[in-house]
């Protein structure tokens, strides 16, 4: 009998505590949903801005011609490589490291490459 009385008396307070916890959870859920909606809007705006920028750049490249763009990229690479401390020359590297090429003439090959300007640095 005492247990039944305790259960009846304690039930309303535990229900009220559960309601308070539930209200807190619902408030937090609403805040998170609002924040999520705001973040989705920001992401959508960024995606649209990126798409607009890419479309604009593509139209500029088409207007200027792809060939000019390719030449400017090659010029940019050449200009950047002239400022580098270490550069590469795949053909020279292959001939130099290949054990079956110029077996007794590696020194002459290096001197010729340096005279030709292949070994600037």
pLDDT digits (tens, 9 = 90+) for 8-34: 555 566 666 788 889 999 999 999 999
Are both 19 and 36 inside the same structural domain?
A: yes
Same domain, 19 and 53: yes
Contact by Cβ (8 Å): 87, 120: yes
Domain, as residue range, for 18: 2-83
Q: Kindly state the tokens that stand for 70.
A: 């390719």
Same domain, 69 and 94: no
For residues 79 and 98, membership in a common domain is answered with no
User: Is residue 81 pLDDT above 70, yes or no?
Assistant: no
What percentage of the chain carries pLDDT values higher than 70?
62
64 and 106 part of one domain: no
Confidence of residue 40 (pLDDT cuts 50, 70, 90): very high
* pLDDT of 29: 93
Between 24 and 86, residue with greater pLDDT: 24
- Average pLDDT over all residues of the chain: 76
């Amino acid at each position: 009998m005492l247990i039944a009385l305790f259960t009846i008396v304690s039930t309303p307070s535990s229900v009220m505590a559960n309601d308070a916890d539930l209200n807190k959870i619902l408030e937090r859920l609403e805040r998170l949903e609002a924040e999520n909606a705001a973040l989705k809007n920001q992401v959508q705006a960024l995606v649209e801005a990126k798409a607009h920028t890419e479309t604009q750049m593509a139209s500029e490249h088409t207007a200027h011609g792809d060939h000019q763009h390719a030449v400017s990229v090659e010029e940019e690479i050449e200009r950047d490589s002239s400022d580098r401390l270490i550069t590469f020359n795949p053909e020279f590297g292959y001939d130099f490291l290949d054990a079956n090429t110029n077996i007794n003439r590696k020194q002459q090959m290096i001197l010729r490459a340096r005279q030709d300007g292949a070994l600037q640095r």
